[in-house]
Amino acid sequence: MALAQGFGLEPQRFLDTIEGGPLDVKYAHVKGAAMLRSEFPASFPVDGAAKDARLIVEAANEAGVHMRVADAVAEQMQAAADAGHGREDMAAVWNVVRS
């Protein structure tokens, strides 16, 4: 959604585009709608997501596995927490991804 917006498209276009395809999952629409409304009542707070992502990265490192996607998720979640969104839902990562 942030990428669509970065290209000057309405973020809703992302949700419209995935509709009916293999990436069309209810979770994307629920979190996407929250992002569009800029309403982030916590069902899984950013602080928890950042902690869990860090734990996954640490476990992977201990196992000798480099998980680049997990690294990126941990970095984005921590950036959202650092920006003051720690108690909001993890969808609030939208605020730092698009800025």
What pLDDT digit, counting tens, does each position of 9-37 carry? 999 999 999 999 999 999 999 999 999 99
What band does 81 get if pLDDT is binned at 50, 70 and 90?
very high
64 and 32 in a common domain: no
Q: Assess whether 22 and 55 both reside in one domain.
A: no
- Cα atoms in the Cβ-side hemisphere of radius 13 Å centred on 99: 9
For residue 48, give its domain range.
41-99
In this prediction the pTM is 0.82
Q: Are residues 46 and 92 in the same domain?
A: yes
Are 58 and 87 in a shared domain?
yes
Q: How many domains does the chain have?
A: 2
At residue 88, does pLDDT exceed 80? yes
Considering the domain architecture, whether residues 88 and 50 belong to the same structural domain is answered as yes
Specify whether the CB–CB gap between 15 and 35 falls below 8 A: no
Confidence of residue 98 (pLDDT cuts 50, 70, 90): confident
Q: Domain check: are 33 and 57 in the same one?
A: no
Find the mean pLDDT for residues 62-69.
96
